[in-house]
Structures are given as structure tokens and as C-alpha cells.
Chain A
């Protein structure tokens, strides 16, 4: 398949759009290993290199652990670095995720979210990234192909900001977004290059001025290094807004840390991330048309978690529905549900929160499912353990 030239509209799969964004972002090194449903990204980038359309170095490594290790080394030289993975691959990278974050390297990674084995499944849920949630990576979730194309460009800018210097993961559900072909308004390469500039790390590997990175710490200093990471992560919230604003300046597109649909007039507000957010908005729109008061709050930026914004939008709700496309066995509720409850509590708000697990292992989530869940929240009771929506039983 030949991609349409930049500055034009193209029909692209999610994976293809991410690869195209990487090609346009003046990336120096890509080290990645193929895994379904992310494989197209790696294939596409290899193809770009073979065709002479991408000047970056493509490192075909033997595993995901090596992929991210190679990215860490490359990033230490001050290069702009990208990788992509899914599911088991992300799990295999787990150790290096912490090294990338701890060494404060602005690596950007695409994660085509896929459930974990066993039993082996190729389809989507968020449990891969949720398993690496605390690794210190900035995490965004996209809803559609154009959004993840845009996010890929934005995350280089955000990660490389001297106030941030943290790696980023762009999450999008496998097959649902990775393989779905959608209309994408590609951006002009010159504008992207101007927007991004070049990475300017304070320190980099230099044979003439040797440095040790990620040196051994003791109980006397380790906590302080983690504190720095935490401060940088919290500070990234404000920088994220700046990046989005500047991006909007040349693209006309902005998504926000959260996307609020009809939250001002809703009794029931559903909090959700990823591709199902749009489906739930469609469900809410149909219900609002017949006089029901429902809204949807899509979490776009998951780490750092925009807790204040979430609480502000949920202040109007009588009931909150917190949706998790991942299952944390034995937990009182899913990870995002717990974040939502914490955000409400921190803002001094007491709202009944109905926790719902859905879409596990690629189980469909359709407009009618959204309507059913809103109806359940209206009828109550909504407290207690999460509802396993859509499970056969």
C-alpha cells in the first residue's frame, strides 16, 4: 500500500498512521520487535527505511527486552527514539520500562493494547498497559486513528520538554484502532518539524566527557530520585496543555486531558478511556434525545491522572459509572475506577460510583451495551464490587 503524500487526507489503519507520524517526526532510532496487533507499525517503518523514505536507524532486535534496551542506549546519546509493542511484548519490556523512566529518557512508544496470556488471545483490553501503569511512563489513550497519529507527534514534544523528560506510551486498542482503516488528515511535515525542534537533553553519552547514567543509589538517595520523577510527572499535566495548545495552532486539533460530553446536564456520568468512549458518546446522544440525562467523560491522559479536572466534571453527577477495560483480580474495583474514586475523594466529593469491567479480551462494546449500563446505574444500587458487564453466565 502506498501512503498518500503528507498534507493530504489518507485512509489509514491505526498502526499505519502511527508509523507515518514517526516517519514525519525526524526520529533517529527505532528499535522494535513485531507482535500482533502492533506488527504493522514495525513492518511499515522497515518498509520506509527500505524505500529511502525514512532516514532513521531501524534496529531489528531479537526481543522486546532488547528493543527497549536499545532504545535506552540510543536515547542516552540524545537521539529521538521510538518503539512499539503489545501485550506479552510490553510485559517482556517491563524491567526496562523502569530504567527508561528512571534515567529520564524521552522515549516514545506505541502500545496497541492487547489482553495477556493465558489463555492466549490476540484481541484488545487495557491489561497490558495497566500492568505497567506504575512504571513512570506518561500514558495517553486514543479513541480513533487521527487522534493517535496526532498523539504520536505530541508525545515527542511532551517527553522531550526539559521540565518533563519522561517516556510516553500512546495506547490504542488492538484491532479496534490498530487495524481499523479511518480517514486521517495528515499534517505537513515542515510544520511538524518546526513544532518539535530537536531534543536538547541536559546530559548525553559523549566519549569525550564520560558520564554514568542511572548510577547506583542508596537508601539515602533513591527515594529522592523517585520524588523527582513524581514531580516531573505531575508537572507534565501543565506542559501537556501547552503542547496541545501549540499543536492546535498549526493543526486546528485539540483533545484535552479529558473530553467531557454533556457532563453539565447529566445525572449519570460515565468515565471511560480508549475507543469505547466514542461508542458511549453515541449511546448517550441517543438517550439524551429521548430526554434522559446522561454524559460521558473520556480520560485522554491517564498518567499523570487529571484528578482535579475529573472531579470538576463529575461534580454535577448524581451517579458516576467508572469503566475499566481491564480486570484486576481480587481488587475492590478496576484501576481506573479506583483513580476516579480517589479523585472524587480528594476533591471532597461523595458520589456513588458504579464500577464496571467490560470488553475483556476483545469482547465487543456496542451502543446498546452503553444504554444498558446507563440504565443499570439509574436503577441502582451502584456500590459494591465491580459489575462484570457482558460476561456469559
Chain B
């Protein structure tokens, strides 16, 4: 893009991360054992990305498009309901 077309000061609209798929960054993926999960939301608090999704009337799930596979959820989960599994 020409320098004449770019927005001055590198200004971009907010929320652009939502359209950025980072699933390819992962080595290991978190897998939730729903039977063990108490839906305490500790993983939701600790997740550095908004990759843990809360639901009304259902337990948390993982947004794999935005999970980078850091493993913090596995480390923090009190009932050990999350396991990091090698990506194929």
C-alpha cells in the first residue's frame, strides 16, 4: 500500500484481534473433561486471551481460533479438568 493511503499514525479500528486466527501457533491444545469441570471460571480468569468462552446454563468451552496453547488453564484448573494434548 502506498504511504499516501495508509492512515496517519498507524490508526486502526479496535477489535481487529477477533478476526486474527492464531490456532496455528499452538503445539498443544487444551481439552476439557466436562465430567470433572465444575465451571468455577478460574480458567476464564487466567486465560491471557479471550479463548475460554462462558455459556448460560452450560460449562465453559474453548475458542480454538484464539487459543495459543500456552497451558495456563491446565496449570490453574483446580479439579484438573483440563489436559494439554499434542496437536496432530
Bound complex: CA of A231 vs CA of B6, how far in Å?
13
**Nearest CB of chain B from residue A363's CB, rounded to whole Å:** 41
Contact A165 B9 (CB under 8 A): yes
Contact A213 B10 (CB under 8 A): yes
Contact B15 A228 (CB under 8 A): no
Contact B3 A211 (CB under 8 A): no
Bound complex: CA of A227 vs CA of B6, how far in Å?
10
Q: Does B1 contact A (CB under 8 A)?
A: yes
Bound complex: CA of A209 vs CA of B10, how far in Å?
16
Q: Does A210 contact B (CB under 8 A)?
A: yes
Residue in B1, B2, B6, B11 whose CB lies within 8 Å of A211: B11
Q: Does B86 contact A (CB under 8 A)?
A: no
Q: Does B57 contact A (CB under 8 A)?
A: no
Q: Which residues of chain A have C-beta atoms less than 8 A from B11's C-beta?
A: 203, 211-213, 215
**Nearest CB of chain A from residue B22's CB, rounded to whole Å:** 14
Which of A138-146, A217-225, A242-250 lines the interface with chain B?
A217-225
Q: Does B13 contact A (CB under 8 A)?
A: yes
Q: Which residues of chain A from 193 to 249 have a CB within 8 Å of any chain B CB?
A: 202-203, 209-215, 217, 221, 223-225, 227-228, 231
**Nearest CB of chain B from residue A63's CB, rounded to whole Å:** 25
Q: Does A103 contact B (CB under 8 A)?
A: yes
Contact B8 A104 (CB under 8 A): yes
Q: Does B19 contact A (CB under 8 A)?
A: no
Which B residue sits closest to A206, measured CB to CB? Answer: B14
Main secondary structure of the interface of A (DSSP, over half): loop
Residue in A104, A212, A221, A223 whose CB lies within 8 Å of B14: A212
Q: Which residues of chain A have C-beta atoms less than 8 A from B6's C-beta?
A: 221, 224-225, 228
Q: Does A306 contact B (CB under 8 A)?
A: no
Q: Does A295 contact B (CB under 8 A)?
A: no
* Chain B, interface residues (CB within 8 Å), range: 10 to 19
Q: Which residues of chain B have C-beta atoms less than 8 A from A274's C-beta?
A: none
Contact B10 A215 (CB under 8 A): yes
Contact B13 A228 (CB under 8 A): no
Which of A202, A211, A214, A217 has the most C-beta atoms of chain B within 10 angstroms of its own C-beta? A211
Interface string of A161-172 (1 = CB under 8 A from B): 000010000000
Known: A210-B15, A212-B16. A224 touches B3 (CB 8 A): yes
Q: Does B12 contact A (CB under 8 A)?
A: yes
Contact B2 A228 (CB under 8 A): no
Which A residue sits closest to B16, measured CB to CB? Answer: A212
Q: Does A102 contact B (CB under 8 A)?
A: yes
Residue in A210, A213, A223, A231 whose CB lies within 8 Å of B9: A213
Residue in B2, B13, B15 whose CB lies within 8 Å of A224: B2
Q: Which residues of chain A have C-beta atoms less than 8 A from B7's C-beta?
A: 203
Contact A212 B9 (CB under 8 A): no
Contact B10 A202 (CB under 8 A): no
Q: Which residues of chain A have C-beta atoms less than 8 A from B8's C-beta?
A: 104, 165, 202-203, 228
**Nearest CB of chain B from residue A85's CB, rounded to whole Å:** 23
Contact B10 A103 (CB under 8 A): yes
Mark A residues whose CB is within 8 Å of B: 102-105, 165, 202-203, 209-215, 217, 221, 223-225, 227-228, 231
User: A211-B11, A217-B10, A228-B8 given. 9 additional CB < 8 A pairs?
Assistant: A102-B9, A203-B11, A210-B15, A211-B12, A212-B13, A214-B10, A215-B11, A228-B6, A231-B3
Chosen A-B contacts, 21 in total, with CB atoms closer than 8 Å, are: A103-B10, A104-B8, A104-B9, A202-B8, A203-B8, A210-B15, A211-B13, A211-B14, A212-B11, A213-B11, A214-B9, A214-B10, A215-B10, A215-B11, A221-B10, A224-B6, A225-B6, A225-B9, A228-B3, A228-B6, A231-B3
Q: Which 3 A-B pairs have the closest CB atoms?
A: A210-B14, A224-B3, A104-B9
